[in-house]
Structures are given as structure tokens and as C-alpha cells.
Amino acid sequence: MKILNLLSKISFIMAVMFSLSLRLNAQSADEGKELFNANCTACHAIKDKVVGPALKDVSKRREEAWLLKWIKNSQALVKSGDPLAVQVYKENNESVMTAFETLSDNQIKSILAYVKAESEAPAAAPQNAGMSVGTPTNVDSSSNFETGINWLLFIISILLVYIISLVFKILTRIGDIQGKPVINWNQVNSILLMVFLVVGMIAVIWEFAVHGKLTIFEAGSASAHGVEYDSMFMITLVLTGVVFVITQILLFWYGFKYKADGKRKALYYPDNHKIELLWTVIPAIVLTVLVIRGLITWNTMMNHKDEKARKIEIFAYQFGWNVRYAGVDNKLGAHNFREVGVMNALGVDTNDVNSHDDIITNELHLEVNQPIDIAFRAKDVIHSALMPHFRVQMNVVPGLPTKFSFTPTVTTAEMRVKMSKPEFDYVLLCNKICGGAHYRMKMKIVIDSKEDYAKWMSSQKVLVANKVASTAVALNN
Ligand SMILES: [Cu+2]
């Protein structure tokens, strides 16, 4: 009776989950829908306003060419002064839509086609009802078959677990009747301990061998202070690794060796001062050495002052980054959050002459072996600037200036060779969950040779061009 009850419950849950999975499959049929769900739903719905406006009938409101430009880079369109773009941006309280420069025209068109189809879907039908019925031709039958097989395997494995537990129950009963247990659980558990030890250790070694290559440590640090950082990381990893291996082996081996066998009695051994002292003092000394070295390293990293360091500002907003270079005078102009707006995203105070030769970009170019001082500033919420290859991370907090100074030592070109990845680029990522499109907050970093940096710099526009025409965009050498 009990079993039947259980089985009927399991099969009911299965049926519900199965029908859910069918729905999901029907959903993934259409390319536009997939792209929309992956890139846009953080901020848009068809019929409701989310972060951005409802997109219902957007193709009727706007020209396709405009939409293509807008979706690829709405901020560029706003900055170009396009009246419609400026209006849409203002109507939405100047919240910034992510740029999707990697989407092709065709991909955007298929998103728009999906938006159009959804706009025209009868208003009465709730969205998911449309999905479960759907058009049968849309359903990918091969993946349904796969889902079916997966569910079958799932059911079989649950049944298997259930049968095994039944077998054990029966064996225990038999043991009760015979007055002598059929299974020696101490024996079974002690063997399982050894199995766990061996399988676990193999898994650890496998992890290091296979996924160790995926860590950023493989290629080495691309900044001067990063070498020290990596050495501390490695020493800590090796020390804790050795302790881990020894303690785990002892733990499981003793569990195995001293299992209760009915012959031996456990020894009552409350404590031993010598051993206690030993395993308190040794870790304390090791930790003190590690922590003091860490403190010294941190202080030299944070207090380092270099007159020749180039001043740079990194500006974070939901959801993107800007860089401001100090220009020829190596002085960043003042800023004021009240000035932040469509035409002045960073709120730079152009009354301050220091700002006139500032240069604002959305890529971080740095010259190799040239120290830089970065000042971080946030527009809206707390972000965190992570530059993993340079072993740099700093919180970016509204109203609270933070800074970091470092020297990049490996150019992008050199790193590409070193990693044998011709496509490689350094990145700056946001490392604080700062909102719906947080995961898209990244910026390309390029480490240039002296010549390339000068060339790139001279192609950038200064903030107030007419006032610095005489100094142009020479470099501060
Ligand atoms: Cu962020």
C-alpha cells in the first residue's frame, strides 16, 4: 500500500516536470526568441515596462535602420545628437541600455521579428499558454526525445535507489530473525571510507591537472606587483595543499584501521599538552609569517607614489565602463555629479581648465612599463573593477573615491604569443552583482608598446578641443 502511494506520487511529479520541459523546448525553437531571452529580458518585456520600455509594436513606432543602430549602440546614437534617440533616452530617465555591437544585423532582425510576432499575439492568450500549445512544427522533436530518455534514466535511478533500500531492509529483518546481522556495517563503512579517500584524491589531482590550465595563473602576471602576489598565492596553496593531503589520509586511514571489530576496546585519551602545543604553535607561526608578508605587500602596493605615474579615471555605471585620461597636463579635470547627463556622461566640469585636454574612451589603453594611478568613480551603485591578469581589484563606490596604482609589464601582443591565443584580450570586469545586466559589464584592456600607445592616443579626441588646439594631443613624456 505504502509503495503504491509513493510510486503514484513520484509519477505525478514526473508528469508535471515532463510537461514543463516540453514547454521549455517549444520556447527555444525560434532564434529571435532565444536571443531576446538571452540578451534583452534583463531589461525588457514585450507588453510591460521593466528597466526599459515595453517593446510591443516597436517596429511600427521606429524605422528598422534606426532600431539597428540603436540596439548596436544606443549611447553612440544619443551622443551623435540623434533627436529621437535623445528623446527616448530622456523619457526613460537617462538609464543606459547596454550596447550589443556583437549582434549581427540579421540577429537583430530576428529579435525584432520575434518582438513583432509577440506584439501581434492575441492579447487574451497568456504568454505561456501560447507556448505549451504552440505551433507543432516549431517543436524540436529530437530534443524532446532526448529529454524523454533523460527522464526515463532519472526514474530508473530513483527506482534503483528504492529497490536497494528495500533489499537492505529485508536483509536487516533476516538478521533480526537469525539473531546475527547479515551485513557487518562497520566493515562496509570502513571500506567506504577508503573508497572515498582514493576517489576523492584522484578527483583532486584530476581537477588540478585538467582545470588548473584554465586558471589565470598559467600565463603569469601581467603587472609588476602581480609577481609578488602570485608567489604568495602559490606558497599558500602549496602549504595548505600539503596539510590537506596529510590530514585527509590520516583521517580516513584511522577511520578504516580502528573500526569497531568487537575485540578491541576504545582507549580513553582526553588530551596531551605537548601535542596540543605543537599543533597550535606551528600553524600560528606559519599563519603569522603569511599574514605579515601579505600586509607588507599590500602596503607597498597601496602606498606607492610615483610622480611620473599617468593619471587615469575609471568610471563605472549600470552597466558599463568609461576611462578618462588626464591628457598632456596629467591632471584630471574636476567633476560634479550634477553635471552628469546625456552629453556629459561623466559629469566632467569643463570650467576647470584641467579638464580641457582630458580624453574619454570606452576602452582602456595603457603603455607597457608605464606606472599609472587609477582613480575609481561610480555613478549609481557599488561596482568592483577586476583586472584579473594584472592581479588588480578595487571596489568602485558612489561618493567614495578609491584608487589603485600599478605598472603593466606585458603587452597584449606578447600575452597572445605567450598564451598561444591570437584572439586574446585583457579585460576589466565588474565583480559586484550590481543589477540585471551586471554580467555584461566588461571593458577591453589593451597594453600597447610606447609607439602604439602614442599612435592610439593621438587618434583620440580631447574633451574641449578648441581650447587646447595649441597643445594638441602630444604625450606627457
Ligand atoms: Cu557593476
Question: What pLDDT, on a 0 to 100 scale, did the predictor assign at position 449?
Answer: 94
Pair (64, 203) in one structural domain: no
Say yes or no to pLDDT of 476 above 60. no
Instruction: Indicate whether 295 and 332 sit together in one domain.
Output: no
CA of 53 to the centre of ligand 1 (A): 22
Q: What is the pLDDT of residue 71?
A: 92
Q: Which domain holds residue 96?
A: 30-138
How many whole angstroms from 145 Cα to the centroid of ligand 1?
41
| Domains: count for the chain | 3
Same domain membership, residue 361 and residue 323: yes
From 285, 303, 321, give the residue that closes a domain.
Answer: 303
Distance 429 CA to ligand 1 centre (A): 8
Same domain membership, residue 331 and residue 445: yes
Give the pLDDT score at 408. 94
- Say if residue 461 is in the same domain as residue 315: yes
CB-based contact 134:26 (threshold 8 Å): yes
Report the separation in Å between the CA atom of 50 and the middle of ligand 1, taken as the mean of its atom positions.
19
Residue 466's pLDDT band (boundaries 50, 70, 90)? low
319 Cα to the center of ligand 1, angstroms: 6
Residue predicted with more confidence, 86 or 16: 86
pLDDT band at 127 (very low <50, low <70, confident <90, very high): very low
Query: How confident is the model at residue 104, as a pLDDT?
Result: 83
Please determine, for residue 62, whether its predicted confidence score (pLDDT) is greater than 80. yes
Lowest mean pLDDT among 47-56, 274-283, 312-321: 47-56
State the average pLDDT over residues 73-90. Answer: 90
- Tell me which residue of 257, 445, 249 sits closest to 365, measured CA to CA: 445
Lowest mean pLDDT across 84-93, 94-103, 219-228, 396-405: 94-103
Confidence check: pLDDT of 21 > 50: no
- Confidence class for position 178, pLDDT limits 50, 70, 90: confident
Check which CATH number belongs to the domain holding 108 and give it: 1.10.760.10
- Is the pLDDT score of 26 beyond 70? no
Residues 398 and 327 in one domain: yes
In a domain, 18, yes or no: no
Q: What is residue 386's predicted lDDT score, i.e. its pLDDT?
A: 96
**How remote is the CA of residue 390 from the centroid of ligand 1, in Å?**
19
Q: What angle, rounded to 10 degrees, do the helices at 273-303 and 226-257 form?
A: 160
Query: Which has more confidence, 37 or 68?
Result: 68
Rounded to the nearest angstrom, the distance between the alpha carbon of 174 and the centre of ligand 1 is 63
So what's the pLDDT on residue 460? 87
Mark whether 366 and 454 lie in a shared domain. Answer: yes
Residue 271 Cα to ligand 1 middle (Å):
52
Q: Tell me, in angstroms, the distance from the centre of ligand 1 to residue 74's CA.
A: 19
Cα of 386 from ligand 1 centre, angstroms: 10
In this predicted structure, the answer to whether residue 50 has a pLDDT above a threshold of 80 is: no
Please enumerate in sequence order all residues whose Cβ is within 8 A of that of 383, keeping only pairs 6 or more positions apart, or say none: 316, 395, 396, 430, 432, 434, 441
* Helix-, strand-, coil-residue percentages of the chain, each rounded to 5: 55, 15, 35
C-alpha 58: how far from chain center: 32
Cα 430 to averaged position of ligand 1 atoms, centre (Å): 5
Query: What residues does the ion ligand 1 have nearby, CB within 5 Å?
Result: 383, 430, 434, 441
- The whole-number pLDDT of residue 467 equals 47
Q: How far is the CA of 365 from the centre of ligand 1 (A)?
A: 20
State the average pLDDT over residues 408-426.
Answer: 92
Please count the other Cβ atoms lying within 10 Å of the Cβ belonging to residue 232. 14
Q: Does a structural domain hold residue 155?
A: no
Q: How far is CA 237 from CA 120, 145, 204, 208, 228, in A?
A: 58, 46, 13, 12, 14
What pLDDT score does 12 carry?
A: 54
The answer to whether residues 70 and 59 touch, using CB atoms and an 8 Å cutoff, is no
Say how many Å lie between the CA of residue 385 and the centre of ligand 1.
8
Q: How far is the CA of 383 from the centre of ligand 1 (A)?
A: 4
Ligand 1 centre distance from Cα of residue 55 (Å): 25
Separation of CA 439 and ligand 1 centre (Å): 8
- CA-CA distances (angstroms) from residue 252 to 45, 133, 191? 54, 55, 10
What average pLDDT is seen over the chain?
Answer: 83
More confident residue, 320 or 475: 320
CA of 396 to the centre of ligand 1 (A): 9
Task: Say if residue 197 is in the same domain as residue 94.
Answer: no
- Residue owning grid cell 584522484: 202
Residue 195 confidence (pLDDT) above 70: yes
Q: Please tell me what DSSP assigns to residue 334.
A: P
Q: Averaged over 6-25, what is the pLDDT?
A: 49
Is the pLDDT score of 417 beyond 50? Answer: yes
Q: Is the pLDDT of residue 243 over 90?
A: yes
Distance 378 CA to ligand 1 centre (A): 9
- Residue 141 confidence class, pLDDT cut points 50, 70, 90: low
Centre of ligand 1 to C-alpha 317, Å, is 7
Q: 428 and 385: one domain?
A: yes
Ligand 1 centroid to residue 432 C-alpha, Å: 6
**Residue 156: all three cell numbers together:** 530508473
CA distance 47 to 55: 7
pLDDT of 159 strictly over 90: yes
Q: In terms of domains, do 320 and 464 share one? A: yes
Mean pLDDT, rounded, for 406-422: 92
* Final residue in a domain of this structure, among 284, 303, 322: 303
Q: How far is the CA of 314 from the centre of ligand 1 (A)?
A: 12
Do both 66 and 214 map to the same domain?
no
Q: Could you tell me the pLDDT band of residue 391, with boundaries at 50, 70 and 90?
A: very high
Element (H, E) at 103: none
Cα-to-centroid distance, 64 and ligand 1 (Å): 31
pLDDT of residue 126: 41
Task: Indicate whether 437 pLDDT > 50.
Answer: yes
CA of 440 to the centre of ligand 1 (A): 9
pLDDT exceeds cutoff 60 at 145 = yes
* pLDDT for the residue 121: 78
Is the confidence at residue 15, as pLDDT, over 60? no
**What's the gap in Å between 406 CA and the centre of ligand 1?**
22
**Per-residue pLDDT, 384:** 96
C-alpha 433 to ligand 1 mean position (Å): 6
Cell representation of residue 291: 599574514
Q: What are the pLDDT digits (tens) for 308-357?
A: 889 999 999 988 899 999 888 888 888 888 888 767 888 888 888 888 88
For residue 20, is pLDDT > 80? no
Model confidence at 7, pLDDT cuts 50, 70, 90, reads low
- Region 197-217: mean pLDDT is 89
- 321 CA distance to ligand 1 middle (Å): 9
Give the rounded percent of residues in the chain with a pLDDT score beyond 70.
Answer: 86
Higher pLDDT, 301 or 474: 301
Residue 163 within any structural domain of the chain: no
pLDDT for 6 equals 54
In a domain, 123, yes or no: yes
Asked whether residue 283 carries a pLDDT value surpassing 50, the answer given is yes
Distance 446 CA to ligand 1 centre (A): 20
Domain boundary pick from 269, 303, 337: 303
Q: 201 CA to middle of ligand 1, Å?
A: 38
